[in-house]
Amino acid sequence: MSLVNLAAKPLPVSPSELPEGVSQVDFVYVSGDAYVDHPSFGTAIIGRILEKCGFTVGIIPQPDFKNSYKDGSGKGVCVFGRPRLGFLVSSGNIDSMVCHYTAAKKKRSEDYYSPEKKAGLRPDRAVIVYCNRIREAYGDVPIIIGGVEASLRRFAHYDYWDDKVRRSVLIDSTADILSYGMGEKSIPEIARLLDKGVPVKKIRDVRGTVVTAPLDFEPKFDYIDTYSYDELKSDKKKYADAFSVQYKNMDPVDGKAIVEYYDNKKLVQNPPQPLLTREEMDEVYALPFTRTWHPMYDKVGGISAIDEVEFSITHNRGCFGGCAFCAIAFHQGRNVVSRSEESVIAEAELLTTLPGFKGYIHDVGGPTANFRYGPCKAVREGKKGICKNRRCLAPEPCKNLIVDHTEYVRLLEKLSSIPKVKKVFVRSGVRFDYAIYDKNDAFLKRLVNHHVSGQLKVAPEHISDRVLSYMGKPPVKVYDRFCDKYFDLCRKAGKEQYLVPYLMSSHPGSTLNEAVDLALYLKKKNVRPEQVQDFYPTPGTAATTMYYTGIDPFTGKNVYVPRDYNEKKMQRALLQTARPENREIVEKAIKLSGRRDAMCLLPHSFSQGSGNRTHFASPKKSANSRPEKKRGGVKKGKGSDTAKKRREMKAK
């Protein structure tokens, strides 16, 4: 199977790059990202799919958004003039607000999807701004919006940055159609209808799309009426109910259409498109990508966003993990589809021929690396959708869950045997509960012995079972079982390897007391996490609904939400108590919580010489955390000079 045409060229970004004889493109794709022709970038996938369907596509990456350029100067969104069929608009691979701001709402200084990582080349709320410029220039030209920003904002949604409920982005952008999810089936279907001369306002029943219609419009599919925007922005209980309906109708097998109301019109979400078949997914990744940035970025050293994916392979889509803070369920869905072994192997063989390949495949993953199929037999056979009222893995695994890593293990083995491949890593994150539920240790043994680059990323997120239940994660005892198994296998393999645990502070349900419990757990386990995340309320997640409403949308019960800035700061500091700069705020958190048992969290200080400089004794190197630093490859043992000096200093 060939995955690349060596003579392939990037899609045109200017009229001078159009194929001979083409003066007007069928579609203009406006994107908030720089143009990288690689299958990890949505612009590249949709552009290549349309090209395969016989349509011409021009890409306008990061256009000047401050002027519509109606003067015909060929700038901004007018580079290609008016397209024959319409505009496609996306903010890029990331929601523009997430791209621009941290969880503390501070402006980010870098944008990895822009040349030279330069920030500010896309606007805030990029989809709305781009559509406004297109309307100013071309009036009623058809506009189809898609990508993560449009997909996750397709209904009335709580916006963390405005701290209010905003209207559907379809309403605010004045676009004609919103394509949600991955778009690989809905966009070509819309394109064919437009090509046949169907007016864009008449295209209202394509699966995987959201449209507006008059109040007397009757959707083609069975549908559920929800609420008006005025109700959703003023009644938090109705907002939580509406999210529950949306979440439960994301499966293409039994999902219904959903109707939301805006003044004198309906917003109609049609049911999701069917999942790609394995064969269809193989075809997507066999499209003739150049697998690099457009040559116009050569002079500035390319685009940094490709660094993590250039020599990585995506083998699956979707996730039935059901984490409350993750938007995958709302975008790709809770079912899983994967590529064939032949397709993945063909891509790996291709990687070995690319400039810069040094023998290492950095990842074979996806949303969850160790998923290849849906969770149970009925779902895999298409007889039913994912269960609406329970999660597959938490708090306990469903009795119908099929836990089997056989195919993934075989795939990793085959990839490792390809000539010129020295090592294959798994870095995109392993679902540790699914791994530990497997009665066969073949996957974990394979992982430990061959596919860990010194440290493995896992996401326990917290240790309080109460908080974990809100997160949709398993009880902490499951994580502890995984740690024990992982390090036991590492010892048997004679390997010094670590776990990098992802942890989250201030998630809905987490009080200061639970944050202290987490800190004590980390101290007991000698874990000093380097990577922690304050909860970030982004559109399209159950946790964001909890954050805004104070209601668990799945149970209807109230949930505690840490919103106070000072409390959030304390919860985050408690994850990294060993840092000297956190001492004062950790001490404050302990006093406020009344937890005298937590005084041990304060680093023991000692003076040295006559100065005022304070030193903090380092804890023992953890068995299950990443070491702070490795020096010269020399392992510091119990009898080393460094260890002796540390013991002497502690004794003082």
pLDDT, one tens digit per residue, over 361-397 is 999 999 999 999 999 999 999 999 999 999 999 999 9
Does a structural domain hold residue 226?
A: no
Q: Give pLDDT tens digits for 307-361.
A: 999 999 999 999 999 999 999 999 999 999 999 999 999 999 999 999 999 999 9
Predicted confidence band of residue 433 (pLDDT cuts 50, 70, 90): very high
The pLDDT of residue 641: 44
Q: Does one domain contain both 184 and 166?
A: yes
Q: What's the whole-number mean pLDDT along residues 92-111?
A: 96
- My answer on whether 622 and 579 are in the same domain is yes
Instruction: Report the alpha-carbon distance of residue 308 to residue 65 in Å, rounded.
Output: 28
**Model confidence, pTM:** 0.90
243, part of any domain: no
CA distance 476 to 395: 10
Kindly state the average pLDDT of the residues 266-274. 97
Cα 430 to Cα 122: distance, rounded to the nearest angstrom: 33
Confidence of residue 423 (pLDDT cuts 50, 70, 90): very high
How confident is the model at residue 624, as a pLDDT? 44
Contact between residue 169 and residue 145 where contact means Cβ atoms under 8 Å apart:
yes
Residue 475 shares a structural domain with residue 446: no
pLDDT (tens digit per residue) in 565-591: 999 999 999 999 999 999 999 999 999
Q: Would you say residue 245 lies in a domain?
A: no
**If you average pLDDT over residues 607-614, what whole number do you get?**
30
pLDDT of residue 213: 98
∠ CA 36-38-41, rounded to 5°: 75
If asked whether residues 362 and 473 sit together in one domain, one would say: no
Q: How confident is the model at residue 428 (pLDDT cuts 50, 70, 90)?
A: confident
Q: Are 445 and 489 in contact (CB under 8 A)?
A: yes
Residues 482, 422 share a domain:
no
CATH number of the domain bearing residue 417: 3.30.750.210
Helix (H, G, I), strand (E, B) or coil at 530: coil
Range of the domain at 447: 311-453
Question: Does residue 383 sit in the same domain as residue 467?
Answer: no
Q: d(Cα 49, Cα 88) in Å, to the nearest integer?
A: 13
Please give the mean pLDDT across all residues of the chain. Answer: 91
Do 114 and 161 belong to one domain?
Answer: yes
Residue 620 confidence class, pLDDT cut points 50, 70, 90: very low
pLDDT at 635 over 60: no
Distance CA 538, CA 531 (A): 19
Instruction: Specify whether 571 is located in the same domain as 423.
Output: no
E strands of 517-600, at which residues? 532-534
Place of tokens 């060993």: 578
Domain presence at residue 238: no
CA 113 to chain centre: 15
- pLDDT higher than threshold 70 for residue 636: no
The three-state secondary structure class of 622 is coil
Residues 82 and 198 occupy one common structural domain: yes
Peptide bond into 627 cis (omega under 30): no
Is 390 domain-assigned? yes
pLDDT on residue 529: 86
Query: Are 27 and 99 found together in one domain?
Result: yes
Tally Cβ neighbours within 10 Å of residue 302: 19
Domain CATH for 647? 3.30.750.200
Question: Is residue 645 very low, low, confident or very high in pLDDT (cuts 50, 70, 90)?
Answer: very low
Instruction: Look at residues 409, 428, 453 and tell me which one is the last residue of a structural domain.
Output: 453
pLDDT of residue 530: 77
Helical H runs in 233-320? 236-248, 278-285
Q: Would 233 be classed as within a structural domain?
A: no
Total domains in the fold of the chain: 3
For residue 608, the one-letter residue type is Q
Q: Is 626 a residue whose pLDDT tops 50?
A: no
Segment (H or E) for 358 = none
Q: Which of 152-166, 501-515, 541-555, 625-639 has the lowest mean pLDDT?
A: 625-639
pLDDT at 6 over 60: no
> What band does 7 get if pLDDT is binned at 50, 70 and 90?
low
Residue 643 has pLDDT above 80, yes or no: no
pLDDT tier for residue 134 given thresholds of 50, 70 and 90: very high
139-189 pLDDT tens trace: 999 999 999 999 999 999 999 999 999 999 999 999 999 999 999 999 999
**DSSP one-letter string for 73-91:** -S-GGGTT-S-SSEEEEE-
In angstroms, the CA 642 to CA 131 distance is 61
Rounded average pLDDT over 413-427: 97
Q: How far apart are CA 188 and CA 283, in angstroms?
A: 14
- What is the number of other CB atoms lying within 10 angstroms of the CB of residue 127? 30
